[in-house]
Structure 1
Amino acid sequence: MGADWQNLRLSAREIEQWSGLEVSDRWIGGLLLGVYRFSKLQRPLDWMGWLLFELVTVALLFVFTLPIGLGVLRIVPSTRAMLASMGVATMGGMVALYGHRARKGRSLQTLLHLLDEIDRYHRVLEAIAVVDRLAVAQGKALPIEHQETLQLTRDCLVTGLKTERILREQNNLMGQDGVAHLEQSLVLLKTLDLQTQADEYAGILQQSLAIAERVQQELYGTGKGHQSPTD
């Protein structure tokens, strides 16, 4: 029997639990006030969907300014004045909304990168699942250490999510427990022999290791940028 690679996936519920934020395939932190994952816009159709959503958002903002327009209409009985006031209010709402998104986006850059790494890790799992099925069809089985490698990569990603949350919520240096766990996972990953007899499978495992290393670089780079309040 082949390995159950689906057990190594990080579910949406787990990601939300460890990050402390609502996370979807396109958004982080909610649909309206959250941050859009622009890395997911790979095709023209994706960009069209994003543009349509933004147009709907502007239209909703304009509708919400109707009480302002009606108030102006009572003072100045002119439809043009009413529409102008609603337009100005809509522009103000857009500036406030996009300003909020920009500030939130800067604070979530590390999490955005981690989610991209999780997506790559899931693609690695899907590729390995295919290789595993082919191996089973030939009466073979993939070595157990390969599963351990991917488990360690998963552990590293989980540590990254937890550590990013600590940095974001407390705005302080990375906790020692998080550093120790992350370093231990990466040392174990690097000491495993990733050269297998099948070149294509070796490449897949190298991708898994690269994900873990990029997580380390992202966290350490972000961690250096956070200063303790006492400094």
Structure 2
Amino acid sequence: MKVLFWSDFNCPYSYIGIKRLTDALNELNLDYELNMKPFELYPTLFNEPTNSMTTEYVLKYGITPKEAGEKISEIEKIALEDGLEINYKDVKITSSRPAHRLVKYVQNRHPEKVGELIFKIFEANFIENRIIADINVLTSIAADLDLNQKEIEEMLKGNSYDFEVQIDEEDAIVMGVDAIPLYILSYNEEQLTIPGAYEKEDFKIALEDMISGKLASKTFL
């Protein structure tokens, strides 16, 4: 099973969605290959933290701090139902570009470790509330995966894979991707496009239909 998906490390539903999908794949004992495409929610941010998540919601949705806190708490509860103990209210919003560049590097050099890397970056951001734009944080994550820390540090200090990230984001515009997460599942001749963080059981039903041959290029778009 090939899983191509647009996502961002600053998006809690991207974290929830990929957890649900991979849980469904694992419960069905399916072999799968993840290919993450970047879709930055905050493309103009620099690497230093800006607003708190509460302030960000107030500015983005024009609501009160209390209402923002309630929305954030609701997302935390949804994540907890899937076993993700996220602390969304204390997330430090920074650029996700360095993290996406690291994913590109690992997809190119060590594709067998890309899935674990993706989850570790999400965990660093949403559970540990580390600054994922920080090169030291990213190289530490890479070291945990037994990747070459020095080589990755040098890559991140330069602009390697920045062009590849930009190309993927431009492809998303051309394809009409305007919200994340979005998944394109491929199995033999079948292909299914799923926009959004569907429930795990819904993912399982779709996967079973693909495997059984009941799906005929079906799409939710």
Larger helix share, 1 or 2 = 1
Question: TM-score, with normalisation over the residues of structure 1?
Answer: 0.25
Larger CA Rg, structure 1 vs 2? 1
Question: TM-score, with normalisation over the residues of structure 2?
Answer: 0.25
Larger strand share, 1 or 2 = 2
